[in-house]
C-alpha cells in the first residue's frame, strides 16, 4: 500500500533482489494511480485502489502512504489476519506496537503483535550506528544534527529540488512548493510543525522513538533536523555521551567494524568518510569521523549516513517481515 511513492518503488525492487518469498504481489495506491504499473520480476504489475476490501486477504501488508492512510486502512488488514508492517508514524508510539530496527531490537517482536511499526528514517539510521556502542558503556545523551535529503519528503519533494535547481541553472522562473522555502542550493529547518518547546515534529520523533527502540525512557537527546539539497540518503553528526568515561576511539571503531548493518568508512589520510552519495543504494549505515569528543571526556563523535529510502524505510520494513517469519513462521 503506497506503491507509487518513492519508498513503494524500493519495496518492489527489494522483494526481487532479496528473493522475498512472494506467491502473489498486490500493489495498492490511491485512486489516481489505479492502472499504472510497476515491474516485478520482468512483468508489469497493475496498481489497484487501496480500500478496506483490497487490503484484506493478504499474508503481509506493508503500508507506506502516510499516517492518515495507515490509520484508515491498517485495522481492516489486521482484522483479516495479515501481518501489518507500517512505515508511517501512525502507531509508532502506541505501547502495544513494537517499533523495530531488526539489528537493534528484534526482541521487541512477539508472535501475537501483528502490527509492527517502522521507525522514523532519521531514528533508524541513528540507532543502527549508536546501539552497538551500548556494549561499551551506558549512554547518557545523544547530540545530533541532521542533513536530511529530499527523499524524506517523498517523490514530490525530490522533484521540487530537481526542478528548482534546473530553474536556477537555466535562470528561468522558479517553481514553488506549498510551504517549502526555495530549495536549490539552499537548506532549511525541517518543515514539520513546531511544538511549544520549540522542537519540530521530526525532532520529537527522533527523541521519542530512540527512547522506545533502545528501551531507555531516560535517554537524553539533543537534536536539530535540517533538510539539505541532497536527493537521497540522510547524513547525521552524532556525539554519544556515556555515563562513565567514554570508550576509546579504537574500542568504538572495533565494535562498529563488526556491528550488523554498519559499514565503517573512516580514512583520515584520504579524507574519505561517509557521504550521501556513498550511502545511496546501500543497505548499510555508513559510519566515519570516529573520534573522541575534544570537549568532553565522556563523548565520542561520529559522522553517519544511510539511505533514507532503504534502511530508513523499505529495507527496514522488509527486514522486519523476514525476521518475524524466521522467528514465528507466518
Q: Is 198 in the site for its own copies (CB under 8 A)?
A: yes
Cell numbers found for residue 251? 574500542
The enclosing H or E element of 264 equals strand 262-264
Please identify which residue in 288, 310, 314, 321 interacts with its own copies, judged by CB under 8 A. 288
Report which of 243, 212, 207 is spatially closest to residue 133, judged by C-alpha positions.
Answer: 243
Cell numbers found for residue 127? 540507532
Q: Is 156 in the site for its own copies (CB under 8 A)?
A: no
Q: Is 48 in the site for its own copies (CB under 8 A)?
A: no
Contacts of 21 (CB under 8 A, 6+ apart): none
Please identify which residue in 251, 254, 296, 323 interacts with its own copies, judged by CB under 8 A. 296
* Residue range at the interface with its own copies (CB under 8 A); choices 34-42, 68-76, 117-125, 226-234: 226-234
Binding residues for its own copies restricted to 68-87, rule: CB under 8 A: none
Please identify which residue in 71, 113, 141, 177 interacts with its own copies, judged by CB under 8 A. 141
Cβ closer to its own copies: 17 or 222?
222
- Chain mean position to CA 208: 15
* Residue range at the interface with its own copies (CB under 8 A); choices 8-16, 130-138, 140-148, 312-320: 140-148
DSSP code per residue over 204-236:
HHHHHHHHHHHT-TT-EEEEE-EE-S-SS-EEE
Known catalytic residue at 225? no
Q: Is 230 in the site for its own copies (CB under 8 A)?
A: yes
Q: Residue 92 and residue 247: Cα distance in Å, rounded?
A: 32
112 burial class (0-12, 13-18, 19+ CB within 10 angstroms)?
A: exposed
Cβ closer to its own copies: 76 or 168?
168
Q: How far is the CB of 260 from its own copies (least distance, A)?
A: 24
Contact status, residue 117 vs residue 92, Cβ threshold 8 Å: yes
Please identify which residue in 134, 249, 254, 282 interacts with its own copies, judged by CB under 8 A. 249
254 burial class (0-12, 13-18, 19+ CB within 10 angstroms)?
A: middle
Q: Residue 37 and residue 34: Cα distance in Å, rounded?
A: 8
Cβ closer to its own copies: 136 or 230?
230
Query: Which residues are at the interface with its own copies (CB under 8 A)?
Result: 141-143, 145, 147, 161-162, 165-166, 169, 179, 181-182, 185-189, 191-194, 197-200, 207, 220-222, 224, 226, 228-231, 235, 237, 239, 249, 268-269, 271, 273, 275-277, 288-296, 299, 301, 303
| Residues designated catalytic | 121, 234
Amino acid at each position: 500500500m503506497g506503491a507509487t511513492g518513492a519508498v513503494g518503488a524500493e519495496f518492489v525492487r527489494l522483494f526481487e533482489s532479496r528473493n522475498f518469498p512472494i506467491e502473489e504481489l498486490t500493489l495498492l495506491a490511491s485512486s489516481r494511480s489505479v492502472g499504472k504499473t510497476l515491474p516485478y520480476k520482468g512483468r508489469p504489475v497493475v496498481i489497484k485502489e487501496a480500500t478496506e476490501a483490497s487490503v484484506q486477504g493478504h499474508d503481509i501488508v506493508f503500508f507506506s502512504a502516510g499516517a492518515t492512510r495507515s490509520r484508515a486502512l491498517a485495522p481492516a488488514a489486521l482484522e483479516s489476519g495479515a501481518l501489518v508492517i507500517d512505515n508511517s508514524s501512525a502507531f509508532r508510539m502506541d505501547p502495544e506496537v513494537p517499533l523495530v530496527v531488526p539489528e537493534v531490537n528484534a526482541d521487541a517482536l512477539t508472535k501475537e503483535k501483528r502490527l509492527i511499526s517502522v521507525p522514523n528514517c532519521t531514528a533508524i539510521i541513528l540507532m543502527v550506528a549508536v546501539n552497538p556502542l551500548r556494549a561499551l558503556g551506558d549512554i547518557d545523551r545523544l547530540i545530533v544534527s541532521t542533513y536530511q535529503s529530499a527523499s524524506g519528503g517523498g517523490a514530490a519533494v525530490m522533484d521540487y529540488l530537481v526542478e528548482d535547481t534546473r530553474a536556477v541553472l537555466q535562470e528561468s522562473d522558479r517553481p514553488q512548493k506549498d510551504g517549502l522555502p526555495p530549495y536549490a542550493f539552499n537548506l532549511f529547518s525541517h518543515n514539520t510543525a513546531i511544538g511549544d518547546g520549540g522542537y519540530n515534529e521530526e525532532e520529537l520523533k527522533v527523541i521519542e522513538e530512540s527512547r522506545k527502540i533502545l528501551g531507555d525512557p531516560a535517554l537524553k537527546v539533543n537534536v536539530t533536523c535540517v533538510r539539505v539539497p541532497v536527493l537521497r540518503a540522510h547524513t547525521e553528526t552524532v556525539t554519544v555521551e556515556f555515563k562513565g568515561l567514554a570508550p576509546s576511539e579504537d574500542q568504538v571503531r572495533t565494535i562498529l567494524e563488526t556491528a550488523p548493518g554498519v559499514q565503517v568508512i573512516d580514512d583520515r589520510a584520504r579524507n574519505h568518510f561517509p557521504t550521501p552519495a556513498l550511502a545511496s543504494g546501500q543497505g548499510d549505515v555508513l559510519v566515519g569521523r570516529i573520534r573522541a569528543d575534544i570537549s568532553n571526556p565522556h563523548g565520542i563523535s561520529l559522522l553517519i549516513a544511510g539511505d533514507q529510502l532503504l534502511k530508513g524505510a523499505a529495507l527496514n520494513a522488509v527486514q522486519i517481515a523476514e525476521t518475524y517469519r524466521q522467528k514465528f513462521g507466518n
